[in-house]
Amino acid sequence: MTDRSPSDPAHATGEPAVGSLVGVPNAVGDAGDRPGLVGERGAELDLVANRDQLLRYYREMVFIRQFEDKVGEMYTRAKIGGYTHLNTGEEATIVGALDSLRPGDYVFSSYREHGHALLRGVSAGAIMAELFGKIGGCSKGRGGSMHLFDIEHRFMGGYAIVGGSLPLAVGVAQAISYRGGDEVVLMIFGEGATNIGSFHEGLNLAKLWKLPIVFLCVNNQYAMGDRPEQDSAVPEVYRKACAYDMRAEQVDGMDLLAVREAADRLIRHTRDQQDPTLLEAVAYRLRGHSMADPARYRTAEELQEWVGKDPIGRFYTKIEAAGLIDADAARRIEEEVEDEVAAAVEFAESSPFPDPADLGKYVYAD
């Protein structure tokens, strides 16, 4: 439990807070339009009328942050092995983007997927147990951090290979279209995946076949240690969609309400029109690429600037100003979340490891 006020954007990072992120309201329009600037977004949620919903958003972001902090702690204590990639700093993008989905929709992710699984309803205990390699995990201890999976919640997995889930997500969207369903696929990936063939093949086929899929690129500014302008001739991901005549937008990924509005608009368009779309959320990961990465390729000044744009502190300031929350209420939320995260660790600790005799189990479908 931190002693900082929840209104301090750095309350979960310990870094000083400076700066603010200017919105990025860029868009590629419907078929035939070309990239260009658009005006201000439409009206945000009424901060008073939607009090419960907004407080839920805040709690969900705090939960993801504390869960990831605990995962980092468990990793350093050797409770978690293998590669582990955290969502720290991307909470507004996760909560804002997934809120407009229906329970029957499908979500595919990458290896940075803990927060996505939590928001889809996979229990914190099942996720933590999976990270521990225990049988109580959502993938029976076989997948670990990069391979969370829960068919009940239609969370179709994290994938270790960059862009590896893009063709699979397009395939599920094709299946939905083939049988005339009204579900949508949300395909979540990082900007580094937009430079490989499966991204371009996926967008091309999705548009060609009019598939119900929303491509969500979480541009956290670094593909491992390289910035977008270092490894892409077109660093603005949303602009790449114009090659496929696809509606696309770019949004401030550190602003929960901006992400929610843009995602809701594109998801509704895709569901109603059976027309794929792309959303680029410009965010920033506040930790290294993985737990094994000290992130020495970025300066302390850059990190300090982005810590000042922390999405949780930024959202707290907004709802505090509207009279929806105060420091005491925020502290109670943090304490409740701490208890839930601690219970997840306890569940993971108590769950047994898989029996070596079952090594070949789950290799093939029954």
Measured CA to CA, the distance from residue 41 to residue 45 in angstroms comes to 12
- Report the C-alpha gap between 53 and 36 in whole angstroms: 33
Q: What is the pLDDT of residues 272-284, one digit of tens each?
A: 999 999 999 999 8
Domains of the chain, earliest start first: 26-39+62-308+327-351 (3.40.50.970)
pLDDT at 293: 72
As given in the structure block, the two tokens for residue 200 are 């371009």
Three-class SS string for the chain?
CCCCCCCCCCCCCCCCCCCCCCCCCEEECCCCCCCEECCCCCCCCCCCCCHHHHHHHHHHHHHHHHHHHHHHHHHHCCCCCCCCCCCCCCHHHHHHHHCCCCCCCEEECCCCCHHHHHHHCCCHHHHHHHHCCCCCCCCCCCCCCCCCCEHHHCECCCCCCCCCCHHHHHHHHHHHHHCCCCCCEEEEEEHHHHHCHHHHHHHHHHHHCCCCEEEEEEECCCECCECHHHHCCCCCHHHHHHHHCCEEEEEECCCHHHHHHHHHHHHHHHHHHCCCEEEEEECCCCCCCCCCCCCCCCCHHHHHHHHCCCHHHHHHHHHHHCCCCCHHHHHHHHHHHHHHHHHHHHHHHHCCCCCHHHCCCCCCCC
What is the reported pLDDT for 16? 28
Kindly state the tokens that stand for 29.
């329009």
Backbone angles phi, psi at 186, to 5 degrees: -105, 115
CA end-to-end span of the chain: 45
Q: How many Å apart are CA 187 and CA 170, to the nearest integer?
A: 9
Backbone angles phi, psi at 222, to 5 degrees: -140, 125
Residues of the chain where predicted confidence (pLDDT) is lower than 70:
1-45, 48-49, 229
Give the Cβ contact number of residue 286 at 10 Å: 25
- Position 184 scores a pLDDT of 98
Q: Return the closest-CA partner of residue 352 out of 79, 77, 129, 125.
A: 129
Note the pLDDT of residue 44.
57
Residue 225's pLDDT is: 72
| 76 HSE (CA, 13 A, CB side) | 7
Residues 6+ apart with CB under 8 A from 222: 285, 289, 297, 298
Mark residue 60 as left, alpha or beta (left: phi above 0; alpha: psi -120 to 50; beta: remaining): alpha
Output the pLDDT for position 30.
Answer: 42
Q: Measure the CA–CA gap between 232 and 219, rounded to whole angstroms.
A: 13
Angstrom distance (rounded) from CA 91 to CA 343? 21
Query: Which residue carries 């109603």 as its tokens?
Result: 272
